[in-house]
Structure formats: structure tokens, C-alpha cells
């Protein structure tokens, strides 16, 4: 479960982390009232569950009433990576001289939480990790004992944090870890922590994701989930009970089992395509479930072609084939080309059932993926 920036900042502020003065607004008039109280410059920030809001036009700095109104008009109601912006956070601008990254997440390879600080804040931390990994200082935390004060100071020192603000940054890191543990977070970060000309530190952004399986013991956070809004496709996936993640490509992917879907994603990338989604229909999927999966992928405007990869174990190939036929026969015209690969339980029966006037059938996964990538390329010619 992802929290919005404004929700995470409320939690951070309650825990003692300095955050800018801000107001939540859902209309242009509310934005104008907020900036009148806060003053200029002010940041107007779309509240949606996506990264890269600034590059996509979802964050603007206003230095006047005219700029604030223009920013509110352009951001409210905009489509931001598939999400409709219904609310913005109006926030006091921060005059800063440096930006840091501070965060805590789970290092699954080590089986421990890891605290991280980098002086390269304000940019995508994944890019920093890939291009200049040494720019990120890390400290693994034993969950049995929590973060010791010396560990927070140590990671600040190794990151090269200026001594004037090192203790304040260490305090933010310690508080983030305490929230990570007490709120059952899966990830928590501030990017950037801004250092002002007066050597004060301010959390200018906030990311906090909560473990869905722990919401039963976080009732206050569970209530926030009801207040958040999701991409229409993700909402539909929740209604259908699918594991679904929307990606940025144009090859739709449906499979049964997370490992099988991930393999298909990797092969799409290997053969020069770009995956549009991760969609796992699960084991034992019946015809209706398969129909719902195709309906979801067809509803994604980014998808130009679909590959359906099923290995029959619990899921029977003949049931899958019936679902594919039922879904495609419900369309007057097939909106996207579909390539199917069936293997395992009742795969031969399924291949016989499939309506080859509606789908393309391939015997191997590699062939199916290559054909789907080719179909997507041809759709864009």
C-alpha cells in the first residue's frame, strides 16, 4: 500500500521530521487560497502514486499569483502516467544549497533492513545505484536490536554529509527507521532532504509504502488506503483479484504464476520489446478469470499486442483455451493481436479448442514472445 506524499509527510511531521508548510487542495480556488496563506515561492505537486512527477509536468514552482493559477489549471485533472490528478499539495518553497537522499528499505539478499544516505539527492536513486553505486552509503540494521545511534552517525560520515548538518541528518535517518519498524513499512524515504543556506534540514518529499499483509495491525493506515485512488486498471485488477503492475511498454503479458510472468517479461525485453504490464492470473484459473485478464489488458491503451503464456499444472490448458475463446468472441473486432503458448496439463486439448481465427498459436515460449514483439512493432508502423 502506497501513501500519498501529503499522508507520509503528516506522519513524518508527527514524528519530528521537519517538513515545509503545506496545504492539500482539490480545486484551483483552494490552491489560490493555500498560496495566499503560505506565500511565494510555492510548489504545486500532483498527489498520485507515480515517480517522476516533476519530469512529467506534475510539479511546478509558482512565484506569483498568475503562475500559481496556471500551475493549478494545468496539473489538476491532468493524466499523469495513467493516473488522473484529483489533488495537489501546495507547499512552501525551500531555498536550498544541497540535496540528499535518506531512506530505509529491505535488502532481501542480506535478509535485513538497510539504511541508505547519498549526497546525490533530488534524482532517481535507482539511477544513482546503477551508475555510481559508491555514491550511496549503506548500513544494515539487525531488526532484533534496531538502529543504534552510532550506525546513523556512521552512514552519515561514510556518505560525506557536512558536519554542520550531520547530526540532524542522522536524526532524520533514525526517525525513518523507527517509522519503518513501527508502521510495518516496506520502504520509506525522503528524496530530497534539502539543506538550506542556514544549515537547516527539511524533508522536501516523502515516500512511505506499507506492507499490505500488516494492515490488520495498522488500523489508522488502513483507513488511509480507502482515501487513496488508483489507476483505473489497477482498481479493476483489485476487483478481479489479480496480481497486476502496469509498466510503460506496449506488449501485454498474461501468465499463471509470478515466475512464469517474470520470465515472459525478461524475454520480451530480450527480443527487443517493452513489457506493458505484469499480470498473474494465478493457479487454477477458470474461463471467467481468463476472460477478465484479457479484458484488463485490452483496456490498456498502451498495449499493441498480447502474449498469453500458460503452463498447465493446477491451471488446465483446456479451461484457459475456453476463456480465451469466450473473451475474444465477445468482441466485434479483436482490438489487439493475441499470441498464445500453452504447455503442461491438457495443453493439447487446449490447442485443439483454441479458435485460431482469433489467436496466433506458438509451441514454444520463445516463438510466442518473438511473434508478440513483432506484432507490437507492426502496430506502430
End-to-end CA distance of the chain: 39
Catalytic residue among 189, 234, 319, 360: 189
123 is in an annotated binding site: no
Please calculate the CA angle 209-215-218 and round it to the nearest 5 degrees. Answer: 95
304 is in an annotated binding site: no
191 is in an annotated binding site: yes
Catalytic residue among 101, 177, 180, 244: 101
- Alpha-helical segments (H) within the chain: 5-14, 28-38, 65-75, 125-131, 149-159, 163-182, 219-227, 232-240, 258-270, 287-299, 317-329, 347-353, 365-379
Burial of 283 (0-12, 13-18, 19+ CB in 10 A): exposed
177 flagged as catalytic: no
Please calculate the CA angle 26-31-35 and round it to the nearest 5 degrees. Answer: 150
205 is in an annotated binding site: yes
Hey, is 335 helix, strand or coil? coil
70 is in an annotated binding site: no
315 is in an annotated binding site: yes
146 is in an annotated binding site: no
36 is in an annotated binding site: no
226 is in an annotated binding site: no
324-329 long-range contacts, CB within 8 A, separation 24+: 324/290, 324/294, 324/354, 324/355, 324/358, 324/359, 325/353, 325/354, 325/355, 325/358, 326/287, 326/290, 326/291, 327/290, 327/291, 327/294, 327/295, 328/294, 328/355, 328/358, 328/359, 329/355, 329/358
Task: Report the distance separating Cα 68 and Cα 73, nearest Å.
Answer: 9
66 flagged as catalytic: no
54 is in an annotated binding site: yes
188 is in an annotated binding site: no
312 is in an annotated binding site: no
236 is in an annotated binding site: no
Q: In Å, how far from its chain's centre is CA 95?
A: 29
Q: Is the peptide bond before 73 cis (omega within 30 degrees of 0)?
A: no
Say which residue the cell 510503460 belongs to: 248
User: How does DSSP assign 275-320, residue by residue?
Assistant: B-EEEE--TT--HHHHHHHHHHHHH-TT--EEEEEEEESSS-HHHH
Annotated binding residues for Mg(2+), written as ranges, equal 191, 205
| Catalytic machinery residues | 101, 189
Annotated binding residues, written as ranges, equal 45, 52-54, 91, 94, 99, 191, 205, 256, 313-315
Annotated binding residues for ATP, written as ranges, equal 45, 52-54, 91, 94, 99
Amino acid at each position: 500500500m502506497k501513501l500519498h506524499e501529503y499522508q507520509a509527510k503528516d506522519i513524518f511531521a508527527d514524528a519530528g521530521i521537519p517538513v515545509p508548510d503545506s496545504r492539500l487542495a482539490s480545486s484551483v480556488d483552494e490552491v489560490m487560497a493555500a498560496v495566499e496563506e503560505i506565500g511565494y515561492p510555492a510548489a504545486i505537486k500532483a498527489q498520485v502514486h507515480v515517480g517522476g512527477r516533476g519530469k512529467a509536468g506534475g510539479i511546478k514552482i509558482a512565484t506569483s499569483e498568475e503562475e500559481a493559477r496556471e500551475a493549478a489549471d494545468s496539473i489538476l485533472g491532468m493524466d499523469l502516467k495513467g493516473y488522473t490528478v484529483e489533488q495537489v499539495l501546495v507547499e512552501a518553497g525551500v531555498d536550498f544549497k544541497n540535496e540528499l537522499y535518506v531512506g530505509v528499505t529491505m535488502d532481501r539478499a542480506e535478509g535485513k533492513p538497510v539504511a541508505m544516505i547519498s549526497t546525490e539527492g533530488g534524482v532517481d536513486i535507482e539511477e544513482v545505484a546503477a551508475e555510481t553505486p559508491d555514491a550511496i552509503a549503506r548500513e544494515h540494521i539487525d531488526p532484533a536490536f534496531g538502529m543504534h545511534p552510532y550506525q546513523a552517525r556512521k552512514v552519515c560520515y561514510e556518505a560525506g554529509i557536512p558536519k554542520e548538518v550531520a547530526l540532524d541528518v542522522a536524526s532524520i535517518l533514525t526517525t525513518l527507521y523507527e517509522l519503518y519498524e513501527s508502521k510495518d513499512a516496506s520502504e520509506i524515504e525522503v528524496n530530497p532532504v534539502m539543506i538550506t543556506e542556514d544549515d537547516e534540514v527539511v524533508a522536501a518529499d516523502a515516500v512511505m509504502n506499507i506492507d499490505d499483509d500488516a494492515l490488520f495491525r495498522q488500523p489508522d493506515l488502513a483507513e488511509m488506503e480507502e482515501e487513496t485512488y488508483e489507476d483505473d486498471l489497477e482498481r479493476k485488477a483489485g476487483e478481479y483479484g489479480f496480481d497486476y503492475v502496469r509498466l510503460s511498454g506496449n506488449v501485454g503479458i498474461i501468465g499463471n504464476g509470478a515466475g512464469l510472468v517474470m520470465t515472459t517479461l525478461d524475454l520480451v525485453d530480450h527480443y527487443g520489446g517493452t513489457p506493458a504490464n505484469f499480470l498473474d492470473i494465478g493457479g487454477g484459473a477458470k474461463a471467467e478469470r481468463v476472460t477478465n485478464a484479457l479484458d484488463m489488458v485490452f483496456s490498456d491503451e498502451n498495449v499493441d499486442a498480447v502474449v498469453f503464456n500458460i503452463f498447465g499444472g493446477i491451471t488446465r490448458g483446456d479451461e484457459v483455451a475456453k476463456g480465451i475463446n469466450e473473451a475474444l468472441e465477445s468482441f466485434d473486432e479483436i482490438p489487439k493481436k493475441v499470441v498464445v503458448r500453452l504447455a503442461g496439463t491438457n495443453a493439447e486439448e487446449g490447442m485443439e479448442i483454441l479458435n485460431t481465427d482469433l489467436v496466433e498459436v506458438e509451441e514454444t515460449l520463445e516463438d510466442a514472445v518473438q511473434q508478440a514483439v513483432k506484432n507490437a512493432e507492426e502496430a506502430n508502423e
